Amino acid sequence: MLEEIIKIYETYHDVIELIAIIIITFIIFSILLKLIKRHLLKKVKTKKQVSNVTVFLDMLKYLFAFLLLIIIFISYYGKWGEIGFLAGLLTVAIGWALQKPISGVVAWLIIVTRRPFSIGDRLLISNIKGELTNITLTHILLDEIGGTIEGEEKSGRTVMIPTSFIFEQEIINYTEKDDYIMDEISTVVTYESNLEKAEKIISTAVANIMSIYWDSFPNKVSKDSNIRLLFKDSGVEIKVRYYTIAFKRNELSTDIHRMIYNKIKSTFDVEFAYPHTEVLLREKKPKLI
C-alpha cells in the first residue's frame, strides 16, 4: 500500500505540489481578506462606505482568483502562446454554453463601476422589493420587504436575483440619493365637519411624530407637510404629504394614523366619513281643510 502511494506521488509529484501551493495560498489569502475587511469596516461610518468596502474586497477576491488561474496555466504549460491558444478554444466553447452567466458577469462589472445602487439601498425590481445586502459575481441578494405581508417591513426571506436583470428589468432605487422619501396619509371627514380644524389636526399629528427626526434631515429635504383635498361621495378626503425615513415608513405612518384617529374621535365638530346609509324620517305636514 505504501509503495503504491509513493509511486502515485512520484508520478504526479508536480501536480500534487501545485495543488498544495494553491490550497495554502488560498487559505492565507482568505485569512488576510477577512482581517482587512474587519479592519476597514471598523473605520467606515456611512452606508455608502460599507458598500464601497464590500465591493472593493469582492473585486480583490475575483482578481486574485483570476491571477491564480493564470499562474496555474503558466506553471503547467510554461508558454504564453499555448495559454493564448487554449484560452481561445475555451472562450468559443464556453461562450455558447454559458451565455447567461457571462451576461451576469458583464452586468456585475457594470454594477461595480457605474454604481447604480449600493449595499444597503432599498430597491424595487419588477415586483420585488428589498434591501440590498450583497452583490456577487452572478447574483444580488435582497432582504425582502413585504412579500408575505402587506406594507414595507422585512418578511425574513432572502431573494436572489441574477445580476443580468439590469438588462431586462426596470429598477427603482428608494435611497439612491438619501434615506428619505415622500409618504401620504389619507383621511376622509364628513361634509358637516369643520374642515379647517380637521386639516390642523392632521398637520399637527405629522409634526408631533416627525419632529424628533427632523434634526437628522439634510437641508434639501423639506420638513413641511402639504395638504391636498378631494371631494368623495361620503365626504372630503384630506391627503397629507410629507417626507419620511424610508426604512421606518410603516412605523411612522402607523403612529401618525393613531394620533389622527384619537384627535378626531375627541373632537365634537369633526367626524370620520365612511360609506353607510341613513334613513331620515320626516313628519308629514297636516293638510289644511
Q: Is the pLDDT of residue 24 over 70?
A: yes
pLDDT for the residue 108: 82
Stretch 14-31: mean pLDDT: 73
Sign of CA dihedral 239, 245, 246, 248: negative
Q: Is the pLDDT of residue 240 over 80?
A: yes
Helices (H), the chain: 2-11, 13-43, 47-77, 80-97, 99-114, 195-214, 249-265
pLDDT for the residue 174: 86
pLDDT for the residue 30: 79
pLDDT digits (tens, 9 = 90+) for 134-149: 888 888 999 998 888 7
- The C-alpha cell at 173 is 432605487
Q: Band of the pLDDT at 184, cuts 50, 70, 90?
A: very high
Q: Band of the pLDDT at 237, cuts 50, 70, 90?
A: very high
Q: Is the pLDDT of residue 85 over 60?
A: no
Q: Band of the pLDDT at 268, cuts 50, 70, 90?
A: very high
Q: Band of the pLDDT at 115, cuts 50, 70, 90?
A: confident
pLDDT for the residue 275: 77
Contact 131, 120 (CB under 8 A): yes
pLDDT for the residue 94: 52
Q: Is the pLDDT of residue 166 over 80?
A: yes
Q: Band of the pLDDT at 90, cuts 50, 70, 90?
A: low
CB atoms within 10 A of CB 79: 10
pLDDT for the residue 80: 47
Q: Is the pLDDT of residue 36 over 50?
A: yes
pLDDT for the residue 75: 62
- Write phi, then psi, for 275 (nearest 5 degrees): -65, 120
Q: Is the pLDDT of residue 244 over 90?
A: yes
Q: Print burial letters for 15-48: b (CB count within 10 Å at least 16), e (below 16).
A: eeeeeeeeeeeeeeeeeeeeeeeeebeeeeeeee
pLDDT digits (tens, 9 = 90+) for 41-79: 777 666 666 766 776 777 777 777 777 777 666 665 554
- Whole-angstrom distance, CA of residue 143 vs CA of residue 159: 6
Higher pLDDT, 220 or 74: 220
- Whole-angstrom distance, CA of residue 258 vs CA of residue 266: 13
Higher pLDDT, 232 or 9: 232
Could you tell me the maximum CA-CA distance found in the chain, to the nearest angstrom?
134
What is the spatial order of strands in the sheet that 122-125 belongs to? 154-162, 139-145, 128-135, 122-125, 171-173
- Whole-angstrom distance, CA of residue 108 vs CA of residue 163: 6
Q: Print burial letters for 85-109: b (CB count within 10 Å at least 16), e (below 16).
A: eeeeeeeeeeeeeeeeeebbeebbe
